[in-house]
Amino acid sequence: MDGGISAILAVASMAATATGAVVSARGAREQANAAAAQANYQAAVARNNQTIASQYAQAEIQRGQVLEQNKRMETAQRESAIRAAVGASGLDPNSGTPLRLQSDAAMVGEQDALTLRANAARAAYGYTVEGLDFGARASLLDSEAENASRAGSLGMWSSIIGGAASVSDKWLSYRRNGFLGG
């Protein structure tokens, strides 16, 4: 009777070890799937952010073009106002100080227009760089998801092989010690 109980305990021990290996394998796989899903989600968010940054860059360029165009129209109006005021005062708007005033207004206006364009380009560049950073992050997260899946498969097989080896060791030990027939 004692031999029968020992055999039952030996089989139960081996079954528990095998079950533990299967549960461990499933846990490794589930953990890897969760890590891969999280990395895939974060990669999708990064790609969305990259798209948004690209849209912001385009919007900055367009905004800069509008501001530049508006500044040039404002400058042209200022030049016309100078010319009209000079003409109304009876001076020749095409020579001397009146001409220099118009030229200075044009030069300052053009400088302002180019500054507006440069500022917009600088802002767009910032968004472009930010978008590239998001794209690189998305690629890194894609790799992380792939690695998590591979690690899960390796962990799963490691648990199964380790469990099988442990069951085999127990079986041999129990058989050698006479707990199992044979």
How do residues 153-174 score in pLDDT, each as one tens digit? 878 877 877 887 787 888 778 7
Tokens of 15: 């079954």
Q: Which is more confident, 95 or 167?
A: 95
For the range 168-171, what are the long-range contacts, defined as Cβ-Cβ under 8 Å and sequence gap of 24 or more? 170/10, 170/13, 170/14, 170/17, 171/10, 171/14
Q: In terms of residue numbers, what domain contains 36? A: 2-176
pLDDT at residue 12, rounded to an integer: 82
> Of 154, 53, 52, 73, whose CA–CA distance to 116 is shortest?
73
**Positions of E strands within the chain:** none
How far is residue 171's CA from residue 179's CA, in Å, rounded to a whole number?
9
**Would 182 be classed as within a structural domain?**
no
User: What value does the mean pLDDT take over residues 75-98?
Assistant: 93
pTM across the whole model: 0.68
pLDDT at 6 over 80: no
**Would 8 be classed as within a structural domain?**
yes
**Would 147 be classed as within a structural domain?**
yes
How far is residue 40's CA from residue 124's CA, in Å, rounded to a whole number?
28
Number of domains in the chain: 1
**Would 59 be classed as within a structural domain?**
yes
pLDDT at residue 11, rounded to an integer: 79
Q: pLDDT tens digits for 96-118? A: 999 999 999 999 999 999 999 99
**Would 181 be classed as within a structural domain?**
no
**Would 172 be classed as within a structural domain?**
yes
> Of 70, 86, 78, 85, whose CA–CA distance to 108 is shortest?
78
**Would 142 be classed as within a structural domain?**
yes
**Would 94 be classed as within a structural domain?**
yes
- Which are the contacts of 170, defined by CB distance < 8 A and separation ≥ 6? 10, 13, 14, 17
Q: pLDDT tens digits for 48-74? A: 999 999 999 999 999 999 999 999 999
pLDDT at 182 over 60: no
How far is residue 14's CA from residue 18's CA, in Å, rounded to a whole number?
6
